[in-house]
């Protein structure tokens, strides 16, 4: 499981930077969560949590 946290303010030239980062994190996931943390109407943190899912084992013959 990996987790990335970055502080990216919204405003001025950084307006699209946070959105581009969110898109990149979503595109890199197979299973997981991308969370956006907002404080005072500004994106201050982006968290990515990736999960690894294992295939269901085949049922054993009895």
Sequence ranges of the domains in the chain: 3-50
User: Does the predicted model carry a pTM greater than 0.85?
Assistant: no
Number of Cβ atoms within 10 Å of the Cβ of 41: 7
- Measured in degrees and rounded to the nearest 5, phi and psi for residue 39 equal -140, 125
Instruction: Using 70 as the pLDDT threshold, list the residues of the chain that sit under it.
Output: 1-15
**pLDDT computed for residue 12 by the predictor:** 46
- pLDDT of 16 reads 79
H/E element, 35: strand 32-39
The helix/strand/coil state of 30 is coil
Token pair listed for 26 = 């979503």
The CA distance from 12 to 56, in Å, is 48
């Amino acid at each position: 499981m990996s987790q990335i946290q970055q502080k990216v303010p919204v405003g001025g030239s950084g307006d699209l930077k946070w959105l581009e980062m969110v898109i990149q994190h979503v595109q890199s996931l197979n299973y997981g969560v991308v969370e956006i943390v907002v404080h005072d109407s500004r994106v201050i943190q982006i968290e990515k949590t990736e999960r690894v899912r294992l295939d269901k084992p085949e049922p054993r013959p009895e």
